[in-house]
Structure 1
Amino acid sequence: MATKLTTRLASAMLTSAMALSLFAVLPAHAADNDTPPAETPTTTETTTTDPTAPDPISDEDLKKQIQYYAEAFKQADGNYRIGEPLAGGTATGTVPSGLEKYYAQKFTGWDRGIMSDTVVQHGYLIVPIDYSDPSKGNIALYLNMYAATGERKGAIVFNNGGPGGSASDYVSGSPVWSNEIKKLNENYDIVGIDPRGVGDSLPFSQCAVDKFTDLTPDNPSVYTTDIEKETEANINTTKKHVNSCFAYTGKAFGFDEAKRELFLRNVGTTNAARDMDVLRSVLGEEKLNFIGLSYGTRLGYVYAQNFPQNVGKFTLDGAMNPFEGTAPTKADETPNLSDEKLRELNAHYLSQGKEFQATYEKFAQWCYSLKGNTKTWRELSEGTLDNDEVASCPLLLPEVQPHEGDLADDNVSLATQQVQNILRPLTTKPIKYVSDYGTTNGLSFDVASTALAGGMYAENKWPTVAHGLQQILSKKVDFAFVNLYDRYSRTDNYGRAGYTTVTCADSANPAAASVANYIRIEKMYHDVTPFRDPGAQYHDIGNLDSCSVWPFAGTLAAGTSVENLPNVLVVSTRNDPATAYENGEVLAKALFGTELTVEGAQHVAFGKQQPGYECANNIIVNYMINGTIPADGQYPPICSVASFRAAAEVPDVPENPATPPQPSKDESNPGEQPQNQTQLEEQKDEKQVKTAGTTSKTAGKAAKSASHKLAQTGVNVAALSVVMLMVIASGAVMVTMRRR
């Protein structure tokens, strides 16, 4: 029996380099799905029947997996070792005591090439594993940099989301395909550095024998009502995943068990922010200019917390709430949690689910509008779909309408009932198909619902979603639809391993591990996200989240307000499915910055080419070049600006932030958009009234309110995600510069 794939991936999940914030509920591999090594292991490790034990792999095979990445660190004896930073550089700005050699280094393995008439350089930044004791060893962070095409005025560093997104891949595609980044590149070096444990940085987080098959839909899960057996299999799968992270990560570089654990303790966001300050110095910049998307807003915020004096021009687009997802407090470290506390601790996961549902309802309204359409699927998708039939909406077909004996719930929207009738048959009868690689795969409910959620990140993916649902009804599989799953889950650029290790290093709460809590949270999630609900008969299937079986608690400091910063630009899209719109105001107030509201229905605004987004792109680009933000009313109604520079307030996090509100007129018909400037102003006034009663917070007071956060409770490894799907939504093409 293939087990149900329930271990979650994340937040922001992830998509194109621009918007890859991986969605909060990517399923994990079943326990028997990991690809075995190609050769017989040569180590003393022995095969075991323990279902939680990592798959055996030889040291030699682990080395083979990094040989195309680690040329700069290969020793004469054939082993790989990351040594000291390359001396000879010049430090810029303030240098913390004891870190001089890192702040004054030259890039290791620095190479130069030409791509589309643009100079691109790539190499490694060497940083300590543990900033509190650099003598314990170093790691290497991979970066791509596009030199300014005109007069250089500085550098702009990007992070495209995750945790787990490859910023080096992101920028290697963006200067070629994005007009916005081309404009910035005229006077600024464009820099993408893979955070520690992510992408091509070394060592990368590794939680499977083969990095490239960490997540695939090759072996479909089949739901059963054998609750006990399903639950046991799920927990074993989660434990195997976690044990594998500690068994494989860094071993190819000679890391022993203690050093692997040290690395995984230090792979979180706080140290990634410290790495960015080293990068700032090596780039020769007094101030760090930064564009962070989705999880990148978390990274930017933590940098501002730790290095406020070094903050330059910061754009944080697709905001995460800075008071969620931090280390658990003593009060959180118990499995005996009330429903109220569970909602509080999983606020991001539940609010994200609500936003996904709202965006799905908007997709359904768009789908309904295809009635009477005369365009083909090829025309509707602008050539993405290879189908010359006239496009129609699968949600309108007679067989998916609610009827006696169907699989849909009675207490959900019509659009949700329709998609439940399409997807729920897959819970027990996946559709078999042959992949591009010649393997026989199965389209399961988990893969299909994940692909559906992935399609919510960008409106230009909606034709692919509609076509994919239509094909499912015909017992066929559309590869473009399946790729909405696969592109978010592949670990060579955006995957579960990096997401898991960074998220758990930040917020793991193993003291609160509880299968019962996991089940309770999943039921809460299905209440707010019914379009992804497999059915009530499966709600009691349990699991433990990866961060629940993590061997130590996360260490990310609680959120605070950060004063005396330059004017930070926070961008928040009204109907962002992955990062709730309300987070933008919270983050802007915490940083005493300015919020740009964008009216739309997709994840992040920067780089989007849909009609109307020109104003958001223009505001961001002009801000990053000139440091100025226009007053409200100077742009079309899709963009509005609110400043929190004067007497900024950090709002209290509500006691029950994830409780779904009663549907308003707009929510009951998500396809409606504000029609004029007056309606937009009324909406903004209403939003401001809701937070006007808060009092001014000092940093200490904000820290107290930050106890309302998303500390993992043993139920939700993916709550921060989002955070991972940030990359595919923009549609940017990723072109890696590494030789492989």
Structure 2
Amino acid sequence: MDSRHPRRLLRTSTTALAAAGLILSGCTGGSDAAAPAGATSAVSQAGPAASAAPTTPDPALRSFYAQKLTWRECGTPKFQCATLRAPLDYAKPAAGEIKLAVSRVAATGPGKRLGSLLVNPGGPGGSAVGYLQGFAGIGYPVQVRARYDMVAVDPRGVARSEPVECLTGPQMDSFTQVDQTPDDGAETTALTAAFKGFAAGCAKRSGQVLPHVSTVETARDMDILRAVLGDERLNYVGASYGTFLGATYAELFPGRVGRLVLDGAMDPSLPAVDLARDQTAGFETAFRAFAADCVQKPDCPLGTESADAASGNLKAFFRTVDAEPVPTGESRRLGESLATTGVIAAMYDEGAWPQLREALTRAMGGEGAGLLALADSYYEREADGTYTNLMFANTAVNCLDLPAAYTGPQDVERAVPSFEKASPVFGEGLAWAALNCSSWPVPATGRPHRITAAGAAPIVVVGTTRDPATPYKWAQSLADQLSSGTLLTYEGDGHTAYGRGSDCIDSAINTYLLDGTPPTAGKRCT
């Protein structure tokens, strides 16, 4: 597979410094949760008890499980599209529906067809349909595409599936430029007001869907899709946040788990503030790898002395543009928030390091267009000034899945030292970024908890040792939690591992998807 395919798989729970990757709220950053299907209780992500799902859907859900998809051409050769119906509220299935966009490309053969393989690129907020049509459906290994129908569904609230909307393009431009490292009370007030305004915009423009975009609900939608496609078990490859979605499915429906690959894993047992702090440390690890590479080059804009010195020079640059943003060739200027987002965006793939070096060189010389372009790719800002709904959905899902990291600015101020210890460069900004859910208009329905998925078939969990957005220890933890989890390790840089250039990783995962044989315990690849 092409290791340069576009994936901004995980964003932090902070839209403002969304540079952090979405996960937690938050991962995470640039290119889209409640009782099991048979239960009648209110939506909940409380945990292990949800595994006791009846095998026959509640009668109120039968019409959804029995529906027939009407496939149609959808403008991309060889791909078909359809609309899946699901309850807006699983606690009240008859009260209304939500329509979800589905796409597929048929197995190419030869060989016995293995059913459907559902893919999700992460986010939350990433378009799975866009990912399928733009990469997975044509870029996954030919032997996998030969045996599986490749399928994707945009999660509820994402892209083509009744998307969450919050701000206009100009409003989002203003939001992304708000100072994320407040120096005084006025700047703290401005940042807090920005988060409140973002939340109010979501409530105003998407109030009906906002309480119903949790990961548990999306996992339940996936089970309806599994049944409608005619598969007894779910086969699935989820990256980044998609690992949390896949693990949640396994928790709700362990007996319906087929072959699940969870690449760039999240740890569902951690509260939001711990996830944010761990992710901050992950970006520091990635930056140190970039810096160590950069200082060996004579044109490194951060100097050629050492990684420590490069870190200090980057932080000094951030302070400079905080005080006086630099021009970019358009009305927006490059301040600290956008500059930080641009740097973090390049941490997802070491292939972007040359671009980052050039962008930093130009920005330090007073021309910020390069870093602004990286930041815009992270936020999925279009050339016409509009934005996809990635960041809107990202925040909506994260704030519903976990209680807010903080209740107010005082909590952040107390947390900043521990974040700066995790990352001297990014810590302060990412600590403040995690304040966004404190103003969310809908109470969280999920809680941190361990996922064991007792009784599930073998599940492969993949971790990258220097992953910026999903730290390696999260993969270790999830593999340990899952009763049938097997950890596959990639010793390298970048976010996620499958299809990024390691023949060892790709071979192990392909064998599992095709034969059902998981990697040997403790397998490590380079």
Distance 1:494 1:414, change over 3 A: farther
Distance 1:95 1:17, change over 3 A: farther
Aligned position for 1:486: 376
Distance 1:224 1:294 in 2: 27
Distance 2:223 2:122 in 1: 18
Tell me if the contact between 2:166 and 2:198 (Cα under 8 Å) persists in the aligned partners. yes
Tell me if the contact between 2:176 and 2:337 (Cα under 8 Å) persists in the aligned partners. no
Q: 1:320 aligns with which of 245, 258, 266?
A: 266
Is residue 473 from structure 1 mapped to residue 364 from structure 2 by the alignment?
yes
Q: 2:237 aligns with which of 266, 282, 291?
A: 291
Aligned position for 1:546: 436
Aligned position for 2:509: 620
Distance 1:301 1:632, change over 3 A: closer
- Secondary structure (helix, strand or coil) at the match of 2:352 reads helix
Distance 1:189 1:302, change over 3 A: same
Once the two structures are superposed, the pairs formed by residues 95-134 of structure 1 within 5 Å of their partners are: 95-107=57-69, 110-112=71-73, 115=76, 119-134=78-93
Distance 2:165 2:463 in 1: 33
Tell me if the contact between 2:244 and 2:265 (Cα under 8 Å) persists in the aligned partners. yes
Distance 1:157 1:238 in 2: 34
Tell me if the contact between 2:273 and 2:434 (Cα under 8 Å) persists in the aligned partners. no
Unaligned runs of 5+ in 2: 19-54, 382-386
Once the two structures are superposed, the pairs formed by residues 322-401 of structure 1 within 5 Å of their partners are: 322-325=268-271, 346-371=273-298, 392-396=299-303
Tell me if the contact between 2:182 and 2:191 (Cα under 8 Å) persists in the aligned partners. no
| Higher mean displacement: 143-152 or 490-499 | 490-499
Q: 2:337 aligns with which of 436, 443, 446?
A: 446
* Pairwise CA distance, 1:291: 0.6
Once the two structures are superposed, the pairs formed by residues 153-552 of structure 1 within 5 Å of their partners are: 153-175=114-136, 178-180=139-141, 182-202=142-162, 204-208=163-167, 210=168, 215-216=172-173, 220-221=177-178, 227-249=184-206, 260-261=207-208, 263-325=209-271, 346-371=273-298, 392-396=299-303, 413-434=308-329, 439-479=330-370, 481-490=371-380, 492-493=387-388, 495-509=390-404, 513-532=407-426, 545-552=435-442
Aligned position for 1:680: none
Tell me if the contact between 1:20 and 1:488 (Cα under 8 Å) persists in the aligned partners. no
Distance 1:268 1:219 in 2: 24
* Pairwise CA distance, 1:518: 1.8
> Cα deviations across residues 563-612 of structure 1 (Å, max 9, x unaligned)?
11111000011111111111112111222211001101111001213xxx
Question: Quick one: which amino acid aligns to residue 476 of structure 1?
Answer: E
* Pairwise CA distance, 1:213: 5.5
Once the two structures are superposed, the pairs formed by residues 575-724 of structure 1 within 5 Å of their partners are: 575-592=466-483, 593-609=485-501, 613-631=502-520, 638=525
Distance 1:206 1:121 in 2: 26
* Pairwise CA distance, 1:356: 1.0
> Cα deviations across residues 60-84 of structure 1 (Å, max 9, x unaligned)?
xxxxxxxxxxxxxxxxxxxxxxxxx
Distance 1:614 1:529, change over 3 A: same
Distance 2:161 2:398 in 1: 17
- Secondary structure (helix, strand or coil) at the match of 2:72 reads strand
Distance 1:423 1:513, change over 3 A: closer
Distance 2:181 2:106 in 1: 55
Tell me if the contact between 1:368 and 1:393 (Cα under 8 Å) persists in the aligned partners. yes
Aligned position for 2:10: 21
Question: Quick one: which amino acid aligns to residue 608 of structure 1?
Answer: R
- Secondary structure (helix, strand or coil) at the match of 1:442 reads coil
Question: Quick one: which amino acid aligns to residue 291 of structure 1?
Answer: V
Distance 1:638 1:562 in 2: 26
Question: Quick one: which amino acid aligns to residue 413 of structure 1?
Answer: D
Distance 1:25 1:485 in 2: 14
Tell me if the contact between 2:203 and 2:441 (Cα under 8 Å) persists in the aligned partners. no
Tell me if the contact between 1:294 and 1:319 (Cα under 8 Å) persists in the aligned partners. yes
Distance 1:100 1:216 in 2: 44
> Cα deviations across residues 64-114 of structure 1 (Å, max 9, x unaligned)?
xxxxxxxxxxxxxxxxxxxxxxxxxxxxx8433321110111235x31257
Distance 2:344 2:443 in 1: 30
Distance 2:415 2:157 in 1: 29
Distance 2:420 2:367 in 1: 27
- Secondary structure (helix, strand or coil) at the match of 1:359 reads helix
Tell me if the contact between 1:508 and 1:550 (Cα under 8 Å) persists in the aligned partners. no
Larger radius of gyration: 1
Distance 2:440 2:147 in 1: 45
Tell me if the contact between 2:14 and 2:436 (Cα under 8 Å) persists in the aligned partners. no
Question: Quick one: which amino acid aligns to residue 393 of structure 1?
Answer: C
Could you tell me the TM-score, scaled by structure 1's length?
0.60
Distance 1:573 1:420, change over 3 A: same
Tell me if the contact between 1:447 and 1:485 (Cα under 8 Å) persists in the aligned partners. yes
Tell me if the contact between 1:219 and 1:441 (Cα under 8 Å) persists in the aligned partners. no
Tell me if the contact between 1:19 and 1:293 (Cα under 8 Å) persists in the aligned partners. no
> Cα deviations across residues 411-441 of structure 1 (Å, max 9, x unaligned)?
x93221121233321001111122xxxx422
Tell me if the contact between 1:207 and 1:214 (Cα under 8 Å) persists in the aligned partners. no
Unaligned runs of 5+ in 1: 1-14, 30-92, 250-259, 326-344, 372-391, 403-411, 640-740
Distance 1:478 1:544 in 2: 27
> Cα deviations across residues 464-492 of structure 1 (Å, max 9, x unaligned)?
1111111112112343x433211221275
Relative contact order higher in (CA < 8 Å, ≥ 6 apart): 1
* Pairwise CA distance, 1:365: 1.1
Distance 2:296 2:117 in 1: 41
Distance 1:224 1:141 in 2: 38
Distance 1:450 1:548 in 2: 21
Distance 1:95 1:183, change over 3 A: same
* Pairwise CA distance, 1:352: 1.1
* Pairwise CA distance, 1:183: 3.1
Distance 1:179 1:309 in 2: 27
Tell me if the contact between 2:287 and 2:347 (Cα under 8 Å) persists in the aligned partners. yes
The alignment of Structure 1 onto Structure 2 pairs a total of residues equal to 478
Tell me if the contact between 2:15 and 2:395 (Cα under 8 Å) persists in the aligned partners. no
> Cα deviations across residues 220-244 of structure 1 (Å, max 9, x unaligned)?
4568977222122222211111111
* Pairwise CA distance, 1:186: 1.0
Tell me if the contact between 2:13 and 2:434 (Cα under 8 Å) persists in the aligned partners. no
Tell me if the contact between 1:166 and 1:494 (Cα under 8 Å) persists in the aligned partners. no
* Pairwise CA distance, 1:509: 4.1
**Between the two proteins, what is the percent identity of the paired residues?**
31
